[in-house]
Amino acid sequence: MKKYKLIIAYDGTEYSGWQFQPNAKSIQEVLEEKLEILTKARTPLYGAGRTDAGVHAMGQAAHFKVEAPVDTRLFRLSLNGLLPKDIRVMEVEEVPLDFHARYSSVNKIYHYHLNLGLVQDPFERAYSWNITNPLNMEALEKGASYLIGTHDFSAFANEATQGAAKKNPVRTLKRLSVVPERIGARLEFEGESFLYKMVRNITGTLIEVAKGKRAPEEMKEILESRDRKRAGRAAPAKGLFLVRIDYPPNPLNTKKR
């Protein structure tokens, strides 16, 4: 038995998200269909985390098991030859049998892209949130500063009464940076793990701060309330990218490009 990790990039525009959904096309479903063709057996694929409908990825990670070893370079080429052009496997790497794409991860980075032009660039319309109102980015950064560190993020999590948020809503947000872009800015989120829709809910609330609808200090109050109703609406899915997932060094060291 062999286990392999995939690093996957995809445009999430036409998909219901990463995870299987009834009566809707998901990234996981498409990948498993193509894996079955190559492996000639049903091959379950386990992702590092679910992304919602319309969310994109540059570095999603997943793993699968097969009976016989594969040539990672040829397997990647063959898999990409079967996949639609909006899904690409960037890397295939053999990993130890105790590796798990979700539970072995030690760090995740998400980017949220804000397009602040008065007229949205048509080439960015599917990959950013266009906001034409003037934004106070200094206020946004101040509001973001209250979220750095280890906190109960229930107020920024959907499904806070079930799933992972119910079991343990405490997360550590290592970094929330504001980086200028050509026509706008991106918010960079870094942490060990994130609750469901946490990044989008934080972003939506910070935009309300930047528009002057909330004081920056209110972010601290919302956080401490643990009440999802106190926070703002989620930012649109299309501006969010899962950029990278980090893991401990691979002892097999068989990575091939």
By annotation, the residues acting in catalysis are: 52
Q: 188 near 172, Cβ under 8 Å?
A: no
H-state helical runs in 156-243: 163-167, 198-210, 218-225
User: How far is 199 from 188, CA to CA, in rounded Å?
Assistant: 10
Q: Please name which of 157, 155, 227, 152 lies closest in space to residue 199, comparing C-alpha atoms.
A: 157
Q: 236 near 203, Cβ under 8 Å?
A: no
Number of helical H runs and strand E runs in the chain: 6, 10
Question: How far does CA 19 lie from the centroid of its chain?
Answer: 12
Place of tokens 């602040």: 116
User: How far is 25 from 15, CA to CA, in rounded Å?
Assistant: 6
